Structure 1
């Protein structure tokens, strides 16, 4: 699978100068700056543009494809210039809530897709003052993707339900000649979602140390230099040192991991269900997914589920003349044709009923995993649960631990300094 970097794709649409009826939508003319995430399904943007061009030939789109793991690289210069895109990728975390509070994003609560979103998704895309700054691309949950044929060949007849059984599976797979786990040593965001996420879910949340860690760590006064947080990555180190990661994991990014898993070069990987479209390939190997068994025997499961990134409306000097056209494109991708993205990523709709996205194709394996995880207690997705400066250090820390450049008990050295930086923004 190709790796997509931030790139600028300017799509010129041929505009007819002949007057037409309102029914053909040619009565609206504008040039829009659009910045959409391209990581999981870049072809969805291409398809949306093609479809939009057919229906609205007088609206020209200047489209930037954005790396979702580093939105700030694209948007910070635009913030400084007070020139946000007309329609732009947004995410339900601290960085965008701050943009909304500072007036860089417009309220989209009157758009068709907003009210159709499930309640927790609406909450995720609402700023502190109540500005509704985005419509989500979907909902997702972290699962363990696994190769059913590898399990059978390794003599694994029952799926693991706890950490101890998971380790037994890893050992059987390794003994049978398989690489038990596909790990993105070069993908800090993916490492944070998986190993950091579940380490927190069980050592901080599940242990009872801090059931409200998501809210508490956003106060600016949180201390990560405590035993519970120091244990968060112990199991990552254990798995690495037991030799359960694939060869070359140190340099593998997310896209290489997805390829390895889908081709059968490794047996398991912890990924979000919104990657199912890149994993459950029609011509791929026999894969399935299940809850991540990170719980110790007798300990209840904890899941990580969330509202995916979405699309918002940016404030800029051209809003007065372009806002009507921007809303048309916004509705086109977030509601009327949101199924294009959903079907490519193999994910789940953010809407309350399937009637709101009738063309969506839902994989039963993904739906089953979502329903199973929905019954569990929920911890926070790291990308959405830390302040921006702390999360930057979370990514740095988990990657350095994975590569043996730092130890799990050094977490306070990495995160507390970033927390102090964040605290200065709250004064």
Structure 2
């Protein structure tokens, strides 16, 4: 990353020197301005927890090919996309392009004409049709381009499973606990828990818990959540939080798991310090390659015995353009990210591209391709939690999961507080 920043700085200095030298040979200021077209600088606010270097590469390559536009890349921090966007909107300090999730919050920003309609772009026309509904607002505004097809799955160390004598992968939560116990008795830490980065607890056990405890029981859950009639103060929702707490209570997670952030969690798995990682398809390139052991994947078995598992699959965090004076330049950058620049991302991530025709040389790990094809054929699936919950409830569920893990509140209390949050969001929306 430092090499890229240095290269960009050096490029800028060279440009300034050349412009200065050019100016020395011009007789009139007007001819100098005619030979040096004005450069537009756009700001891109990006969520890239495991690919910041690739984003800088994309911006540098875009500017090389489009010398009239420079890109100031800023990276989101914290636990969610939404908590980065809200202060910028409140202060009127909008970026020109930003990462967004395909949820009701972003859709509302589109209907408020804060996010631009991207339906006229080649990127939108090339996006997979099943994903387009995720990126369409109530007023039929198309507000973003998906970063990929997102699934959550469990990666496992095949060597550890073999040494522990595990011959069959678990197909329900009871069997999963038996596998964890078998791994623990063999001297292994069964699974990595991202207590210090609740975003991954949300994408992992919360999303799967919601899929298997709520979606499977209430087909009309999305409409009811939107209008405030979905009851989340239930034993089934309490069970989502109880499962998140149960694994550390039984000693199935790493020591000091509440301090484990995103990067540390990946490192623990890659160094063979944990047998499993509950993670997303977006981390396939990191988790499946460069390890001294073979890695397998399976559907998170968060279902009860005798019930069919409900997998999680949907749109990954994507990109949107804001209604700013630099909208036209930002649209060009969006087209580049989803076009020539996409292969730069894909070489690192090896996820499933969200496009009908993938631009450039695209590398997708075959295990992830097979997994995605398999779960996409399930009769019932759910979406990642960031596209399920209202925006304020996303931040609320982060705190609730951590409070449950710290035993400040019970799973039953967490279910009640989540229910209150979701219903309050509905009231705010429909007031």
Q: Quick check: TM above 0.5?
A: yes
Matched, 1:351 2:355: yes
The CA distance in 2 between the partners of 1:308 and 1:195, in whole Å, is 17
- Pairwise mapping of residues 17-32 of structure 1 onto structure 2 (< 5 A)? 29-32=39-42
- Pairwise mapping of residues 248-397 of structure 1 onto structure 2 (< 5 A)? 248-316=256-324, 318=325, 322-352=326-356, 355-376=357-378, 377-397=380-400
Distance 1:234 1:83, change over 3 A: closer
1:40-77: per-residue Cα shift (whole Å, max 9, x none)? 31111111122123212232222211237333443333
**C-alpha deviation, 1:384, in angstroms:** 0.9
Matched, 1:407 2:410: yes
Distance 1:72 1:226, change over 3 A: closer
8 Å contact 1:39–1:68 — kept in the other structure?
A: no
Moved more, 141-150 or 357-366: 357-366
Distance 1:391 1:374, change over 3 A: same
8 Å contact 1:92–1:384 — kept in the other structure?
A: yes
Distance 1:83 1:326, change over 3 A: same
Give unpaired runs (5+ residues) of structure 2. 1-7, 24-35
The alignment partner of 1:425 has SS state of helix
The CA distance in 1 between the partners of 2:83 and 2:243, in whole Å, is 32
Number of equivalences: 404
8 Å contact 1:37–1:68 — kept in the other structure?
A: no
The CA distance in 2 between the partners of 1:363 and 1:172, in whole Å, is 29
The CA distance in 2 between the partners of 1:345 and 1:31, in whole Å, is 28
Counterpart in the other structure of 2:121: 111
The CA distance in 1 between the partners of 2:268 and 2:255, in whole Å, is 11
8 Å contact 2:314–2:382 — kept in the other structure?
A: no
8 Å contact 2:56–2:73 — kept in the other structure?
A: no
The CA distance in 1 between the partners of 2:358 and 2:277, in whole Å, is 32
Distance 1:328 1:248, change over 3 A: same
The CA distance in 2 between the partners of 1:311 and 1:398, in whole Å, is 28
1:274-304: per-residue Cα shift (whole Å, max 9, x none)? 1112212324432121111222332112100
Higher Cα Rg, which structure: 2
Matched, 1:90 2:92: no
The alignment partner of 2:430 has SS state of coil
More helix by share: 2
After the TM superposition, which segments of 4 or more aligned residues of structure 1 sit over 4 Å from their partners? 10-13, 15-19
The alignment partner of 2:274 has SS state of coil
The CA distance in 2 between the partners of 1:227 and 1:166, in whole Å, is 21
8 Å contact 2:49–2:262 — kept in the other structure?
A: no
Counterpart in the other structure of 2:80: 70
Residue of 52, 69, 73 corresponding to 1:59: 69
